[in-house]
Structure 1
Amino acid sequence: MPLNIKKTLLNIRQRRENLQYSQEYVASKLKLTQHAYSKIECGVTEITLRRLGEISDILLTRPSALIES
Structure 2
Amino acid sequence: MGWARQEYEALGIPFHLRGKLTDQHLQQIRTAWEDDADHSSGGIPIWVGGMSDAALRRAVRYGEAWHPA
| Same fold? TM cut 0.5 | no
TM-score, normalised by the number of residues in structure 1: 0.35
More helix by percentage: 1
More strand by percentage: 2
* Higher RCO (C-alpha 8 Å, min separation 6): 1
